[in-house]
Amino acid sequence: IVVRFRQAYCVTEPGAGSDVASIKTRAVKDGDDYVVNGQKMWITNGGKANWYFLLARTNPDPKCSTGKAFTGFIVEADTPGILIGRKEMNMGQRCSDTRGITFEDVRIPKENVLIAEGAGFKIAMGAFDNTRPPVAAGATGLAQRALEEATNYALERKTFGKVIAEHQAVSFLLAEMAMKVELARMAYQRSAWEVDQGRKNTYYASIAKAFAGDIANQVASDAVQVFGGNGFNSEYPVEKLMRDAKIYQIYEGTAQIQRLIIAREHLGRYKK
């Protein structure tokens, strides 16, 4: 018997993405249960998951610190009151099952609280240190694919009597793309290595995620440029890569949020 467990990370809301402290989903203690009401949005794997990690506010006091106001729960997807929205049709990465999830008077037993009430924000932020390196790896893989497609095309397409790879303008562009891909690969490998060493990797995880996300977009765009007019056509693969690349600058923390984290971590080293 093979039992498959799929999970989804229910943090983002229609009005709270990068600003996690603005989450409106509430969990109210009622006997041995918590009653949850709220809506989550852009939940990857939302319609496929067996269970969710849910972040909800348990302290209604707006003056309560973010670090103590939220609680993390494990919620089974078939719990009564959970409404799964339609699969979103996004610009790219359309194989991703991305949906909105609504919680209406969903009862969660107190045993499903992770660590303790009020520990949710720390759990959620700590998870990003582990999820950002593989996201950066995915972005690097996309950039690698774009480089390979552009290189193969440049070795076949001819203009002015020779393949375009022999034109310096194109060969230099390919060289820049190759440099970026290798640097992105080094960044995510360093961030993953820090985890293997048992060290806090917030700094390196954000560098890897921000850099690889930017590189994926730059290299995919350059690949379209190498293809010229063909690159703008859906019969060729690079336009899809360009669409797929954009989300790497958005999910798991936007490119701008990563820079905030990097600056904070960097300056913190010197302030000590």
CA distance 13 to 42: 8
Q: In angstroms, rounded to a whole number, what is the distance separating the alpha carbons of residues 272 and 257?
A: 23
Decide if 252 is catalytic.
Answer: yes
What lies within 8 Å, CB to CB, of 203 at 6+ separation is: 261, 262, 265, 266
Q: Under DSSP, is residue 78 helix (H, G, I), strand (E, B) or coil?
A: coil
Contact 150, 223 (CB under 8 A): yes
* φ and ψ at residue 55, rounded to 5 degrees: -105, 125
> Phi-psi bin for 90: left (phi > 0), alpha (psi -120 to 50), beta?
beta
The active-site residue, picked from 117, 148, 252, 265, is 252
Looking at the annotation, which residues are catalytic?
Answer: 252
